[in-house]
Amino acid sequence: MTIHKEGFKIIGVSFLIFVIVNIAFKFLLSDYPMICIPLRIFTLVFFLFVVSFFRIPKREITIDDNLILAPSDGKVVVIEEVEETEFLKEKCIQISIFMSPLNIHCQWFPVNGEVTYTKHHSGSYLVAWHPKSSTENERNTIVVKAKNGKPILFRQIAGAVARRIVCFTKVGEEASQDKQAGFIKFGSRIDVFVPLSANIKVNLEQKVQGNQTILAEF
């Protein structure tokens, strides 16, 4: 288990605030231990939560060109046939994964291949499980042309809490299932669009792990 580089600055600032606040408690509330102690515990729990949010587990992965893996941890909240209008311009199966603040928030490439499209969209901050969050929230779209020539589109979506989407990739780069594609800070959603011909391997409400759980098979 390591700490993601995206968390270094936030964790540093959080630690500084933690220290300052607790020093203030010591001087201002020293005569009120029944108030001071719970506040100290609360600030410690909050700081540990911030640290844990940026944790990155060490995972073994078997790379397979025939599989579409979950790009992130979370819970499957949507599996449905839709018309993808931004890039694919065709009907496909949308698989949406909701990430709570307790999940790992790094994203990995779901397939091996080449990045052919990336685009950031400004937008609102509806709760991530809202149906319109896929098209109205701030989001970042990535398309990978898989080794079999089929394009796989996945979209990082900001939520009501998540206000910072980070994309680590650009057009022309090699995509690999063991390579990080991005990071979303503090709760969010990922939409993955796979071909109608793909064999879906997950169910609604199923918990998945990034670069571990098989979403579909070509």
Neighbours of 201 (CB within 10 A): 16
Burial 130-141 (b: 16+ CB within 10 A, else e): eeebbeebbbbb
> Annotated catalytic residue: which of 14, 72, 134, 188?
188
- Judge whether 172 and 145 are in contact, CB under 8 Å: no
Check if 188 is active-site.
yes
Structure tokens at 201: 């391997």
DSSP 3-state of 5 = helix
Q: Which residues contact 146 (CB under 8 A, 6 or more apart)?
A: 65, 111, 112, 113, 152, 218
Phi-psi region of 132 (alpha: psi -120 to 50; beta: other; left: phi over 0): alpha
Question: How far apart are alpha carbons 150 and 173 in whole angstroms?
Answer: 16
- For the annotated catalytic residues, the residue numbers are 188
